[in-house]
Amino acid sequence: EQPHTCAKCGKSFSRSSALIVHQRIHTSERPYKCSQCGKSFRRSSALIVHQRIHTGKRPCECSDCGKSFNWNSELVVHQRIHTGERPCKCSQCGKSFRRSSALVRH
**Do 67 and 50 share a structural domain?**
no
**Do 9 and 46 share a structural domain?**
yes
pTM of the model: 0.55
Per-residue pLDDT of the chain (106 residues; tens, 9 = 90+): 889 999 999 999 999 999 999 999 999 999 999 999 999 999 999 999 899 889 888 989 999 999 999 889 999 999 999 999 999 999 999 999 999 999 999 9
- Which one of 40, 55, 70 terminates a domain? 55
**Do 12 and 51 share a structural domain?**
yes
Q: Which of 80, 81, 61, 83 is nearest to 71 (CA)?
A: 61
